[in-house]
Amino acid sequence: MRLTVFGATGGTGRLVVEQALDGGHEVRAVVRDPARLSVAHPALDVVAADLAAPASLKPALDGSDAVVSALGPRGRKDTSGICHNGTRSILTAMRDTGVRRIVVVSAQPALRSGAGEPFWFRHTVTALVRAVYRTTYDDMERMERLLAGSDADWTVVRPPYLTDKPGTGRYRTALEKNITGSSLPRADLATALLAAVEDPALVRHAVGVTGG
């Protein structure tokens, strides 16, 4: 499979690139600064592009089978709207190039209903996290609404707090709801994202994921 990965220089995106290459896929990693991606492989093509210019994304999408987006804010004070605005540009370029499949990273607290979470967790932990990182989760909610209103074959993956611990190869998922869990290694999230790409049952669905 030929995959196009956005957010490839981030903690999760880099792992998606590495795992996809290890799995025998061809990968196009979309970056603003190629020097920031310390991955080299014969099946890797690093493409410099600007998310603010959808036309610049087309070379990375031509002939691609699917997109994995690990876009996310650079920190709590990031008000760029990277998830919504970046995904909007990606969807525009996907329409122009005929690519339909996209899997994106969101987060547990972006599900405002808290479906799947215990009552106490929803009204304490989740409520506090949403209050502190309101801008981040508002941006992710807007991204999810944008995808739902598109004609793309999308899947949203909502993990809990992410860590840089080694991957375990184990994780749990739940369709259209969250799973209470305190954390998930980024490596296991990357595995879940790549598995979602090839799962037709997840098309046009959101999936909660947490550690196994």
Output the domain CATH number for residue 111: 3.40.50.720
Task: Look at residue 75 and tell me whether its pLDDT is greater than 80.
Answer: no
The highest-confidence range among 77-91, 115-129, 180-194, by mean pLDDT, is 180-194
Task: Look at residue 127 and tell me whether its pLDDT is greater than 90.
Answer: no
In the chain, how many domains are there? 1
Task: Look at residue 136 and tell me whether its pLDDT is greater than 60.
Answer: yes
If one counts every other C-beta atom within 10 angstroms of the C-beta of residue 141, the result is 18
Q: How far apart, in whole angstroms, are the C-alpha atoms of residue 170 and residue 111?
A: 23
Mean of pLDDT values over 118-147: 80
Mean of pLDDT values over 10-21: 97
Give me the sign of the Cα torsion angle 160, 198, 15, 34.
negative
pLDDT on residue 134: 78
> What are the contacts of 181-188 at 24+ separation with CB within 8 A?
181/210, 181/211, 182/211, 183/211, 184/159, 184/160, 184/209, 184/210, 184/211, 185/211, 186/11, 186/12, 186/15, 186/162, 187/15, 187/19, 188/212
End-to-end CA distance of the chain: 27
Q: How far apart, in whole angstroms, are the C-alpha atoms of residue 194 and residue 198?
A: 7
Q: What is the pLDDT of residues 21-43, one digit of tens each?
A: 999 999 999 998 999 999 999 99
* φ and ψ at residue 190, rounded to 5 degrees: -60, -40
Instruction: Return the structure tokens found at 152.
Output: 């793309």
Could you tell me the pLDDT band of residue 80, with boundaries at 50, 70 and 90? confident
Containing 48, the helix (H) or strand (E) segment is strand 44-48
pLDDT on residue 79: 56
Q: Using CB atoms within 10 Å of the CB of residue 169, give its burial: 0 to 12 exposed, 13 to 18 middle, 19+ buried.
A: exposed
Q: What is the pLDDT of residues 166-188, one digit of tens each?
A: 999 999 999 999 887 779 999 99
Task: Determine the structural domain holding residue 94 and report its residue range.
Answer: 2-211
Could you tell me the pLDDT band of residue 112, with boundaries at 50, 70 and 90? confident
Mean of pLDDT values over 46-60: 95
Question: pTM score > 0.95 for this model?
Answer: no
Nearest to 69 by CA among 45, 44, 94: 94
pLDDT on residue 1: 96
